[in-house]
Amino acid sequence: MKYRLDELAKSVAGRLAGDPECVIEGVGTLQHAGAGQIAFLSSGRYRQYLANTAASAVILTEADLAEYSGNAIVVGDPYLAYARIAALVAGEPARRVGVHRSAVVEGGCRVAESASIGANSFIGSGATIGANVYIGPGCIIESGAEIGDDSVLVARVTVCRDVVVGHRAMIHPGVVLGADGFGLANDHGVWVKVPQLGSVRIGNDVEIGANTTIDRGAIEDTIVEDGVKLDNLIQIGHNVRIGEHTAIAAAAMLAGSCTIGKRCTIAGGVGIGGHISIADGTTITAMSMVTSPIREAGVYSSGTPLDSNRNWHRNAVRFKQLDEISRRLKEIEKRFDNVKNKE
């Protein structure tokens, strides 16, 4: 899509600097953008490319404008403004409305006329597909499931029976919503399956990354609140609740019945134990292991730093002696005190 720079500036309530009639029809990085492309500067890491960028315009802060003489949109948060301008410039992909001839739609479904049901997809009996929904090729929507208006299931998404997805969801390929939770009772060493009779409820404006899995609840539902953003290959166990506007990066694992607060940021590879609560606004850094509740917002971490394998090995062995080291230190302190006292 083509936009004039003044139109784009207005769309993000930014201040225009330079030529209002400059035409933008694409985006680029400061380093590699060319004519007709708009770039942004939001991190010091890339400031070195500002002076010589070939971009037709740059989104930046007032402070960075000082070092730049080309066309610009000046805003408080260039990355946020870029997100909005990029969405305008990229435009919406054209999507055919209607049911593809190769799709299988069972009886008793409600499929909105404005919805698009892709090739080789399957919609089970009693499912509901809302207005303007895009169901890409190879998706499976089992019986009784509901997909809210304006949601996009890119391709090959599986939504199991009775799962409810809200409006404006964006769900990437390989996602599985509502597979059975991992519920097992033990009968003299033999596992007995505990039927998973709850469902999954996904709020509005939720994004779910490729191959992420969200299990259905055992009795009650697994709940993902409005505005939650999930990256790829995340595991969400049964009866988890994720508070609104929380973002979780790739390969995180949330065990059953844990409760994540609102507006948390959970980095990649983090593991959270079963039945644990995390306070609103908590940040957890990559690959941390959470085995106790977090009652106060803050930034939390675990793990050890990378080292050469040789040094790591030397130190890792000592980890198994840490308690002993601590006791020996205490002992030597005591002996020293005794000596001093005798003097």
The residue among 304 and 341 lying less far from a second copy, judged by its C-beta, is 304
Amino acid occupying residue 294: I
Set 100, 172, 188, 238: catalytic member: 238
Residue ranges with strand state E in 68-145: 72-74, 98-99, 104-105, 110-111, 116-117, 122-123, 128-129, 134-135, 140-141
Distance of closest approach, residue 78 Cβ to a second copy, in angstroms? 9
The residue among 66 and 216 lying less far from a second copy, judged by its C-beta, is 216
* 238: annotated active-site residue: yes
The residue among 23 and 210 lying less far from a second copy, judged by its C-beta, is 210
Q: Report the C-alpha dihedral over residues 293, 257, 229, 98, rounded to 10 degrees.
A: -170
d(CA 136, CA 120): 9
Distance of closest approach, residue 194 Cβ to a second copy, in angstroms? 4
Element (H, E) at 340: helix 322-342
Closest CA to 200 of 184, 186, 214, 210: 214
Backbone angles phi, psi at 187, to 5 degrees: -115, 95
d(CA 45, CA 270): 27
Distance of closest approach, residue 56 Cβ to a second copy, in angstroms? 15
d(CA 269, CA 188): 34
Cβ 7 vs Cβ 25: under 8 Å: no
Distance of closest approach, residue 112 Cβ to a second copy, in angstroms? 21
Distance of closest approach, residue 16 Cβ to a second copy, in angstroms? 20
The residue among 164 and 218 lying less far from a second copy, judged by its C-beta, is 218
Show the tokens assigned to 113.
């006329």
Closest CA to 226 of 260, 200, 203: 203
Cβ 148 vs Cβ 115: under 8 Å: no
The residue among 113 and 310 lying less far from a second copy, judged by its C-beta, is 310
Residues belonging to the active site: 238
